[in-house]
Amino acid sequence: MDECAFCNATNAQRAETASDNLFFAFNCAVLTFTLLLGLPGNLWVCWVVFRTKSLRTFNNALLVSLAASDLLKCSVDTPLFLLSLLRRVTVPVCALQQFTYALCSCVQLLTLVSISVERFQAIAFPFQTERRKARVRLWILSIWVCGLILAGVSLALSREALCRPYVRELGEERLRPWRSRVRGK
């Protein structure tokens, strides 16, 4: 009876390991796909808007800001996260990944909100265009400053980085969550 229970536990562990490996491979594939499409796509958007005079509009300024945020995410956050999945990285690398993730996520969300508000303004008040340029510039500046502040606060308040850093004193042992360190477990 004990042997059967051991076999079932071993089979469950093997199935769990196989599903973990499948999830890990899927995660790496999606991140690589995002990296390979996101970098040239967002560079292309920025390049086309800057090269074509007729595309330099207020709404496209918001789109370029969104593309710049996506470009930062694809060029810094995604490779660092992929690296942290594939191997152990140092604490500063984890902190940089966490900072860029928070910054880009905040900037992306706020930029999408501002695009929606700007579209509402254009539809609801179509003849009030004189302040649009200053308003969009202020929004873009405010969005990036807000993103930087929130990313800094996120990094300052977290006791442990989101990815699993390699810490020399602990060897390959995973870091325990900070709550368990505080409680002594």
In this structure, which amino acid lies at residue 94?
C
What predicted TM-score, i.e. pTM, was given to this entire model?
Answer: 0.74
- Token reading at 164: 């699993």
pLDDT tens for each residue of 39-93: 999 999 999 999 999 999 888 999 999 999 999 999 998 888 888 878 877 888 8
pLDDT tens for each residue of 20-52: 778 888 888 888 898 899 999 999 999 999 999
Full residue range of the structural domain in which residue 116 is found: 2-183
CA distance 57 to 153: 33
HEC sequence for the chain: CHHHHHHHHHHHHHHHHHHHHHHHHHHHHHHHHHHHHHHHHHHHHHHHHHHCHHHCCHHHHHHHHHHHHHHHHHHHHHHHHHHHHHCCECHHHHHHHHHHHHHHHHHHHHHHHHHHHHHHHHHHCCCCCCCHHHHHHHHHHHHHHHHHHHHHHHHHHCCCCCCCECEHHHECCCCCCHHHHHHCC
Contact, 71 vs 37, CB < 8 A? no
pLDDT tens for each residue of 96-131: 989 999 999 999 999 999 999 999 988 998 888 778
pLDDT band at residue 182, thresholds of 50, 70 and 90? very low
Residue 158 has a pLDDT of: 81
Contact, 132 vs 57, CB < 8 A? no
Total structural domains within the chain = 1
CATH number for the domain that contains residue 10: 1.20.1070.10
